[in-house]
Amino acid sequence: MSTEALSAVSNQVMWNRLISVVEEQAQTLVRTAFSTSVREAGDLSAGVYDLDGNMLAQAVTGTPGHVNAMAESVKHFMREIGTDNMFDGDVYITNDPWMGTGHLHDITVVSPSFFKGKMVGYFACTAHVVDIGGRGFGADANSVYEEGLCIPIMKFAERGAVDMGLVKIVRNNVREADQVVGDIYALAACNEIGHRRLVEMLEEFGLETLEPIAEFILENSYRATVERIAALPRKSVTNDMTIDGYSEPIRLCVRLDIEEDHIRADFSGTSGIDKKAINVPHVYTMAYACYALKCAIAPEIPNNAASLSPFRISAPEGSILNAEHPAPVALRHVIGHMIPDTVLGALHDILPGTVPAEGAGSLCNFQLSIRPQSGGNAPADARRAEVLMFNCGGSGARPSLDGMNATAFPSGVMTMPIEATEHTGPVIIWRKELRPDSGGAGKFRGGLGQYMEIGTTEGHEFDFSAMFDRVRHPARGREGGLEGGATRFELDDGTVMRGKGKQAIPPGRIAFLALPGGAGYGDPKERDPDLIARDVAGGYISADAAERDYGYKAKS
């Protein structure tokens, strides 16, 4: 084997090792975090960066919104802190939506990595915390100032000494102080583990810096991504999608221009900034637009700065996808998670038989603000609690496969177990099961949503902060597939609730949720009868729906 070939093999081994390093970094965060959103749902990201702030590798565990947005954040830290003011043992922090990952509830922590007295790179990680003060996690704020505590880019620790003044400020501005402060320490520990493993790797391979492997990673990733783009037809395609919004529908528009060495995605024509907290900073728009393009065009190429750079994303200033400070942005994910379906719809014209039908899109989150029942009816052990729960609807059917049931696409987070949720506060999940007939009919059926029923233990009442979409605009099918089931939110007495916003739940009442399904792909009449029979037998579709949508009469 030639020296050049041997070097390429060694570099590939080190590249894989670097990915393993950041995966252990992420798993450390999962194991040490306090919030269920991190340790149960995996709403986090972790990565390693070179001295120029370029992301070299990301953990497999994590969400595209965090990872791809965080890819831009390290350079902000370098500018604000100053590389001449960075020392071994430092830890930096922010939750600035425009310099982090899009809203105040995500805390990003960056740590410089030193080897033999010299800085060799950075580790960064992000996690969603259960509370950040202000109005609480929800859609009701009128500006970012109402949404909670903003931590500017600053030092959480210098040379290993934690800024206890900052810790006191955080503790006195959030509702779940132990969880939030615990998560910050977990973020710092996660970066420390990444640093230790990197030092071991450099010593093992006899390297002094990351520069040789960084050059190999970035050059090969860029070249491979551009090759995939060059194989596409040179054309421009468009797509648009209408979704619920807060009080008025929101229109998302995209135009894709396929060039020889890049793809430009332009969101001109998209609705303007909303008065309520569903606006999206540009960094989050970029994150999910890049994710959709990469999934469809170059999914096997590892995610890093170079493999993302050929995707050039723009949205008009003042649009809901490029919201500027001080726009309220707490629920940026509800709109941002719809970006991939918008982009994939445009790609369908270029890559027929490749992209799925529309799915539920945004996570079906809710947060409960629980308190002892007023009027002296609360037991002695009644307590306040903030309970956040991530849930999901069905994904869209694929060109050759059914959609996935109750699966978070595009966010990729996991559904929180009932037992873990009930452990965080006096909440009871009375029901959680798949929702029959919610998957859109097609040659390939959309994924099912789910039913949920939520209440509290005796002596408590609560406010329900809803973060839903697809109430009035369900997922659309592709190539003749039918739309998925729409979202429903009501009480057990039939009272219809709003899809977004904080709403008081009267004592003793139970919240009922029917979460949305994904849309179908292809003509339902072309579906394999054996698959229809299987769905009827399994309770995925009813006998009536089988006959109505597929022309299939179940045997009695």
Along the chain (556 residues), what's the average pLDDT of each consecutive run of 10 residues? 63 94 96 93 94 95 87 94 98 97 97 97 96 96 98 98 98 97 98 98 94 96 98 97 96 97 98 98 97 96 96 98 98 98 96 96 95 81 90 97 96 89 94 98 98 94 96 98 98 96 94 98 97 97 97 82
Peptide bond into 97 cis (omega under 30): no
Query: Kind of pairing, strands 311-314 and 263-266?
Result: parallel
Residue of 295, 192, 297, 311 whose CA lies nearest to 261: 311
Distance of alpha carbon 45 from alpha carbon 21, whole angstroms = 13
Q: Are 346 and 256 in contact (CB under 8 A)?
A: yes
Please give the angle made by the CA atoms of 281, 284 and 286, to the nearest 5 degrees: 110
Going from N- to C-terminal start, the domains of the chain cover 3-221, 356-556
Question: Which of the 8 DSSP states describes residue 48?
Answer: E
Chain centroid, CA 228 distance in Å: 26
Q: What is the pLDDT of residue 555?
A: 76
Distance of alpha carbon 348 from alpha carbon 339, whole angstroms = 14
User: For residue 550, what are the CA distances in angstroms to 448, 486, 546?
Assistant: 17, 20, 5
Chain centroid, CA 458 distance in Å: 34
Q: Convert the pLDDT of each residue in 387-404 to its tens digit.
A: 999 999 999 999 999 999
Q: Are 25 and 123 in contact (CB under 8 A)?
A: yes
The CATH code that applies to domain 3-221 is: 3.30.450
Which amino acid makes up residue 256? L
What is the H or E stretch that residue 418 is in? helix 418-423
Alpha-carbon radius of gyration of the chain:
24
Strand partners, 113: 121
The reported pTM is: 0.95
Q: Helices marked H in 300-410 — which ranges?
A: 305-308, 332-336, 339-347
Q: What is the pLDDT of residue 5?
A: 52
Burial class (CB in 10 A: 0-12, 13-18, 19+), 247: exposed
Q: What is the pLDDT of residue 382?
A: 83
What is the H or E stretch that residue 50 is in? none
Which amino acid makes up residue 72? E
What is the H or E stretch that residue 13 is in? helix 3-32
Please give the order of strands across the beta sheet that includes 460-467: 385-389, 365-372, 460-467, 500-505
Distance of alpha carbon 464 from alpha carbon 501, whole angstroms = 8
Q: What is the pLDDT of residue 4?
A: 54
